[in-house]
């Protein structure tokens, strides 16, 4: 589905370059559940942004569904993002003043979907168990609830690929378990999932773990079997968590 060949990403100026990724070779197969792990500053978010067509490599090639992303214009890239990719972020990135329902339908509004909008929004709202909060402002939800809404928003366009950047990083352990179960179920339904985390217990829920250090992929290993997901989620350490008032 996605292929990175000798990909590099350098920020900054020619006189003071910051190399975030160097010579990354990686193939992500359709239907895979992959976790990218590594310490802070190792290049995880940079890699996820490239996979999500939010950014372009400064060297090497990235193929998304067989197309070299460097040859695509902004319109084509945003169409890929809108139709093929669902994004889930650590801080949820919901619009606080909109309701749960309105947040979830937003990608369909952007995509110009009118006739099926209500049915599609309601389906994913129920899918993540948030239908009882449909008319609630997003700002009044707990972190775990906000993340479920964010997952519903990522799913509403029925994307083939879900990219999740530290999706359990700002929520309580019980909610983190629910979020990881939800991602596991989405994977079971043949979606491709790429998850960034610095938490090895979270990564253990994936099929495959890619470790990145100083911008280089230096280890690729298999994670636990899907049957062990609940056990892995149960041992997740409590993150720093401040409940919403």
Does position 42 interact with ligand ADP (CB under 6 A)? The reply is yes
Token duo for residue 13: 């100026």
Does position 169 interact with ligand ADP (CB under 6 A)? The reply is no
> Whole-angstrom Cα distance, residue 239 to residue 173?
7
Binding letters toward ligand ADP, positions 18-37, x by CB under 6 A: x-x-----------------
> Whole-angstrom Cα distance, residue 172 to residue 149?
16
Give the H or E element holding residue 88.
strand 85-88
Strands (E), 153-224: 161-165, 192-197, 208-213, 216-222
Of the residues 44, 148, 187, 229, which one makes contact with ligand ADP according to CB under 6 A: 44
| Structure-token match 């197309």, residue found | 67
Does position 41 interact with ligand ADP (CB under 6 A)? The reply is yes
Binding letters toward ligand ADP, positions 182-221, x by CB under 6 A: ----------------------------------------
Does position 90 interact with ligand ADP (CB under 6 A)? The reply is no
Give the shortest CB-127-to-ligand ADP separation in angstroms. Answer: 29
Give the shortest CB-48-to-ligand ADP separation in angstroms. Answer: 8
Token duo for residue 48: 């996820």
> Whole-angstrom Cα distance, residue 171 to residue 198?
14
Interface positions with ligand ADP (CB under 6 A):
11-12, 18, 20, 38, 40-46
């Amino acid at each position: 589905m996605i292929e990175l060949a000798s990909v590099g990403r350098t920020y900054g100026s020619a006189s003071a370059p910051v190399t975030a990724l160097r010579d990354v070779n990686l193939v992500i197969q359709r239907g895979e559940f992959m976790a990218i792990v590594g310490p802070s500053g190792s290049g995880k978010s940079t890699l996820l942004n490239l996979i999500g067509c939010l950014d372009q490599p400064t060297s090497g090639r990235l193929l998304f569904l067989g197309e070299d992303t460097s040859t695509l214009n902004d319109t084509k890239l945003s169409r890929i993002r809108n139709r093929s990719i669902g994004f889930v972020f650590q801080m949820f990135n919901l619009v606080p003043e909109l309701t749960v329902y309105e947040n979830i339908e937003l990608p369909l509004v952007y995509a110009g979907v009118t006739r099926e909008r209500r049915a599609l929004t309601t389906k994913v709202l129920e899918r993540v168990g948030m239908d009882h909060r449909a008319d609630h402002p997003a700002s009044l939800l707990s972190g775990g609830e906000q993340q479920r809404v964010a997952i519903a928003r990522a799913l509403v366009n029925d994307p083939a690929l879900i990219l999740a950047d530290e999706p359990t990083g700002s929520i309580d352990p019980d909610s983190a378990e629910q979020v990881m179960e939800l991602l596991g179920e989405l994977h079971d339904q043949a979606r491709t999932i790429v998850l960034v985390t610095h938490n090895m217990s979270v990564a253990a829920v994936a099929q495959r773990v890619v470790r990145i250090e100083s911008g280089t992929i230096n280890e690729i290993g298999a994670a636990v079997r899907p049957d062990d997901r609940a056990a892995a989620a149960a041992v997740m350490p409590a993150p720093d968590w401040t409940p919403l008032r």
